[in-house]
């Protein structure tokens, strides 16, 4: 699983940060792509990334402020112009359907694929999607307008076949291993009957990624983040601007870090950084780390790798 940060700024683009958009690439699922928010010029950012619109099948919008949705009409059109024909589903708060349908109609944009738009009621909390491999739960956060957080939960994976145990049982490598991995009961040439389930290790817990929209510190964010492997949370302001953050419905570095610590998060990634802190990001990161050590501040084109086995983590910067 790769998490790509296409836009990490707050409000308006700056010379270093575009406005909000984050993408998850599910490498073990044929590279399918989910996008979270689509601020202005997101498709321009995509040109400098490995993201392919043809692999994009879901977009999740946190709220309807322009820095989170103004890139949508262009991106939807480009996906069609580039030959995208597979269905695309958009989830978001009430109003997202009218915004998309109005801009497409007025601009006379013709989409060559099926577009589904699912609006989520205010104050809704619960599952909104599941396909057996991935489940998405939504939480209503505390911003100056209705705003959502999304929790992505991957299904547990079957444990690995214990090859050493099989060898000790005098079962040599071969086609039988595939049957045993499928938990089949087989009869060996010597007459012994063995059950594949006895040679499968413990299941591997699925990964959990929590993505918060713009929000003040609130109880819903705690539930969103609970025991997540990765929490992506805004940090529009530093600690000394706490009153300003609260006034405009945002969080500080300290507040995001406190949530991560209390919710038992493994890794905290901060985004939605105000341009007032340009060239001061290391100071912001140091401030957040003083409250929660495993914290990183994302920059545009920052890539976070979260592997299944042992939840290994790796970070790439553009």
37, 57, 67, 219: the active-site residue: 67
What's the half-sphere exposure (Cβ side, CA atoms, 13 Å) at 62? 30
Residue 166, CA distances (Å) to 25, 172, 177, 195, 198 in order? 35, 7, 9, 11, 10
Residue 14: other Cβ atoms inside 10 A: 18
- Per the annotation, the verdict on 67 as an active-site residue is yes
For residues 189 and 234, the answer to whether their CB atoms sit within 8 Å is no
Using the Cα atoms of residue 186, residue 189, residue 193 and residue 194 in order, give the sign of their dihedral: negative
Helical axes 72-81 vs 96-106, angle rounded to 10°: 60
Active-site residues, by number, are 67
């Amino acid at each position: 699983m790769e998490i790509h940060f296409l836009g990490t700024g707050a409000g308006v683009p700056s010379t270093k940060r575009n406005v909000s958009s984050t993408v998850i690439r599910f490498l073990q699922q044929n590279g399918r792509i989910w996008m979270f928010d689509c601020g202005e010029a997101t498709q321009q950012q995509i040109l400098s990334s490995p993201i392919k619109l043809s692999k994009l099948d879901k977009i999740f919008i946190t709220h309807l402020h322009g820095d989170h949705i103004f890139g949508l009409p262009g991106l939807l059109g480009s996906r069609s112009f580039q030959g995208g024909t597979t269905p695309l589903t958009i989830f978001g708060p009430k109003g997202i359907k009218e915004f998309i349908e109005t801009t497409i109609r007025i601009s006379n944009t013709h989409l060559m694929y099926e577009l589904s738009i699912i609006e989520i009621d205010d104050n809704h909390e619960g599952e909104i999607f599941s396909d057996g491999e991935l489940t998405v739960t939504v939480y209503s956060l505390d911003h100056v307008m209705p705003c959502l957080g999304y929790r992505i939960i991957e299904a547990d994976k079957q444990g690995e076949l214990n090859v050493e145990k099989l060898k000790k049982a005098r079962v040599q490598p071969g086609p039988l291993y595939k049957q045993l991995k499928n938990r089949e009961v087989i009869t060996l040439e010597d007459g012994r009957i063995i059950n594949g389930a006895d040679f499968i290790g413990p299941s591997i817990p699925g990964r959990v990624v929590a993505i918060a929209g713009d929000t003040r510190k609130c109880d819903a964010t705690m539930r969103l983040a609970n025991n997540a492997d990765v929490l992506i949370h805004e940090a529009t302001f530093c600690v000394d601007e706490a009153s300003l953050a609260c006034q405009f419905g945002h969080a500080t570095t300290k507040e995001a870090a406190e949530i991560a610590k209390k919710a038992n998060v493994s890794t905290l990634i901060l985004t939605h950084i105000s341009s007032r802190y340009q060239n001061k990001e290391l100071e912001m990161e140091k401030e957040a780390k003083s409250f929660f050590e495993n914290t990183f501040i994302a920059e545009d084109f920052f890539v976070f790798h979260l592997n299944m086995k042992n939840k290994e983590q790796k970070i790439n910067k553009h």
